[in-house]
């Protein structure tokens, strides 16, 4: 019997790089997950870069020091947990932000929470001004009304809409058509894909706006850090159901396009 020659061995294709646009490393995570271990998880997940904020900002600084080649620091207005619903009414937030902006370098302010007219308080208005003065993105967690109010305050603002507002794909598409300086992260959402297949309504939006979405994990509690690697695997699975060029844009090219120059400046 003839024996077929052994099939040549081919290296497996490299995993699709990811730009994770929504991570937190807050004070209650530090003891459970030291910076070196957190940085190792980012590398294990195959992240090309990660937008990181924390409560307080000290966590961001620690993780940035551990992985300056991956971490892009964002400045949260929260100094500790429990300020999520009050910060926009607390004038002491402004000197805190101004002091951090003098001492450290960032690519964004946020992620911050504000809904409806909460985005029109004097504190929130000053945050929009600070982002403009320092050339930073706003990482905004809120409804479409709050996003609209921020754009009215600064029509040239650049806003990354956290979780795509937890809104419907149809509403998200409307917002993207209206605001060319609006992008969306898909953190802590699963309605856009399941079992490696993209939802048809979301597919239409991704194909219409391939340059406006980024993936994200959202480690809003220490326990969520256990999902950094599995979430990267989940993201690669559903991205593989999109055309390759669209998948690459959402996976990492959009993040690189938005933050690449700022990332290079941080590393100089």
22-81: pLDDT as tens digits: 999 999 998 899 999 999 999 999 999 999 999 999 999 999 999 999 999 999 999 988
Q: Is residue 6 part of a domain?
A: no
Quickly state the pLDDT bin for 1 (edges 50, 70, 90). Answer: very low
User: Can you give the pLDDT at residue 14?
Assistant: 60
What is the percent of the chain with per-residue pLDDT over 70, rounded to a whole number?
A: 95
Q: Is residue 263 part of a domain?
A: yes
At 159-207, the pLDDT tens digits run 999 999 999 999 999 999 999 999 999 999 999 999 999 999 999 999 9
- Alpha carbon distance 113, 126 (integer Å): 15
Domain that holds residue 209: 18-267
Number of domains in the chain: 1
Q: Is residue 4 part of a domain?
A: no
User: Can you give the pLDDT at residue 86?
Assistant: 95
- Alpha carbon distance 186, 189 (integer Å): 6
In this predicted structure, the answer to whether residue 8 has a pLDDT above a threshold of 90 is: no
Q: Within the chain, where are the H helices?
A: 27-30, 35-44, 58-66, 93-103, 122-134, 144-153, 169-178, 200-208, 228-239, 244-248, 254-267
User: Can you give the pLDDT at residue 226?
Assistant: 95
Quickly state the pLDDT bin for 10 (edges 50, 70, 90). Answer: very low
In this predicted structure, the answer to whether residue 82 has a pLDDT above a threshold of 90 is: no
CATH number at residue 189: 3.20.20.140
Q: Is residue 10 part of a domain?
A: no
112 within 8 A of 22, measured Cβ to Cβ: no
User: Can you give the pLDDT at residue 21?
Assistant: 98
Give all strands of the β-sheet with 71-75 in edge-to-edge order: 18-24, 47-53, 71-75, 108-113, 137-141, 159-161, 182-185, 213-214
pTM: 0.94
Q: Is residue 9 part of a domain?
A: no
Q: Is residue 7 part of a domain?
A: no
In this predicted structure, the answer to whether residue 2 has a pLDDT above a threshold of 70 is: no
Q: Is residue 8 part of a domain?
A: no
In this predicted structure, the answer to whether residue 9 has a pLDDT above a threshold of 60 is: no
3-state SS, residue 47:
strand
Name which of 245, 262, 241, 255 is nearest 212 in CA terms. 255
User: Can you give the pLDDT at residue 220?
Assistant: 94
The pLDDT mean for the chain works out to 93
Q: Is residue 40 part of a domain?
A: yes
């Amino acid at each position: 019997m003839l024996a077929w020659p052994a099939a040549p061995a081919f290296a497996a294709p490299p995993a699709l790089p990811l730009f994770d646009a929504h991570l937190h490393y807050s004070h209650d995570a530090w003891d459970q997950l030291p910076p070196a271990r957190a940085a190792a998880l980012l590398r294990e997940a195959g992240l090309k870069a990660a937008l990181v904020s924390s409560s307080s900002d000290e966590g961001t600084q620690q993780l940035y020091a551990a992985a300056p080649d991956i971490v892009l620091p964002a400045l949260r207005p929260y100094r500790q947990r429990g300020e999520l619903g009050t910060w926009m009414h607390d004038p002491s937030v402004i000197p805190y932000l101004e002091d951090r902006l003098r001492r450290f370098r960032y690519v964004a302010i946020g992620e911050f929470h504000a809904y409806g007219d909460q985005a029109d308080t004097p504190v929130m208005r000053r945050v929009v001004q600070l982002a403009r003065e320092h050339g930073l993105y706003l990482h905004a967690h809120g409804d479409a009304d709050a996003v609209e109010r921020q754009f009215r305050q600064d029509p040239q603002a650049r806003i990354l809409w956290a979780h795509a507002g937890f809104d419907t794909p149809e509403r998200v598409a409307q917002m993207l058509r209206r605001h060319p300086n609006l992008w969306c992260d898909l953190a802590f959402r699963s309605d856009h894909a399941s079992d490696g297949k993209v939802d048809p309504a979301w597919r239409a939006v991704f194909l219409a706006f391939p340059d406006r979405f980024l993936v994200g994990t959202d480690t809003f509690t220490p326990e969520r850090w256990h999902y950094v690697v599995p979430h990267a695997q989940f993201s690669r699975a559903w991205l593989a159901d999109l055309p390759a060029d669209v998948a690459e844009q959402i996976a990492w090219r959009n993040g690189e396009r938005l933050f690449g120059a700022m990332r290079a400046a941080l590393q100089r």
